[in-house]
Homo-oligomer: A and B are copies of this chain.
């Protein structure tokens, strides 16, 4: 499988002589070994890939990766690359997320080589295999059980961190390897910040409580959001049903070849009808897989098209400063003719 993935990458290289990767999820995807310490994978267009790992990763890397593994500290990368970058090499692909410090050093040490940014690893990763989809579904099941436990824990006087405690406990019991991002339980006015994490605030009657969480299972992530309204709150209930309608419209449009920007705009238009589009402060969604945020970007400025077997989130939200926020988020798979929502949890979780 990894040989096949590497050969797809090599085919995408066109006129480049090789690709240099340091992103640990990219390395894991192409080698089967997910490094715990700084690592570097060099993939020449012709010839064998070489993985540099730290001493601490050596034994596991040799066990899991079928390619050549060398124990090389970060401080010796340049020296080792000097052996690998053959005199004819003129163009090497690198990740945009590379650290500027290392990028700058590469350019200085190899002035004859042009280091160009290629997003191919992420483009390749954005199309999921049947096996990957199965693992993501399992990660989603775990997160849904966590969210259910969170909703049951919500109540007047309960602290946000207590709600997170119940959710995470449930996810661990179901085998979550880790949590791919900080669990969000944002109640009342705190919910007006889309990325507020957890605090010690006690939930009050009338609060909208945004719960956004995920689990990692066999390296793959899930990400799901539900909003619970405690007691009555007309304003937040209205915002929530608007957001649910906006999501439904976007979900109904999903199929291959649709522009990601069009999806985002379709949800925004529904909110616009009620003058709420100005409170939708982030993009509609993001691809999900080994990273919780990966291509495609479902935003109004995205120039990507949906393709079959992409998996991404659809998560409109409305944030009213001083009052609170509402958001719903589901994970969708692009099938031949439509989107299939992989999350099953109901959205009307009012208390």
Contact = CB atoms under 8 A, between A and B. Distances in A.
Interface in A162-194: 162, 164-165, 168-169, 172-173, 175-179, 182-183, 192-194
A102 to B, nearest CB: 8
Contacts of A182: 177-179
A196 B301 contact: no
A97 B179 CA distance: 24
Contacts of A240: none
A281 B169 contact: no
A162 to B, nearest CB: 7
Interface in A234-291: 281-282
A96 B57 CA distance: 24
A36 B195 CA distance: 5
Contacts of A161: 172-173, 175-177
Interface stretch (A2-10, A122-130, A197-205, A223-231): A197-205
A101 B75 contact: no
* Residue of A37, A56, A301 most packed against chain B (CB within 10 A): A56
A321 interface: yes
Contact of A281 (B55, B117, B162, B200): B55
Contact of A100 (B99, B177, B200): B99
A264 to B, nearest CB: 14
A21 to B, nearest CB: 13
A323 to B, nearest CB: 11
B97 A97 contact: no
A193 B95 CA distance: 27
A312 interface: no
Contact of A56 (B168, B195, B200): B195
A11 interface: no
Contact of A164 (B100, B172, B196): B172
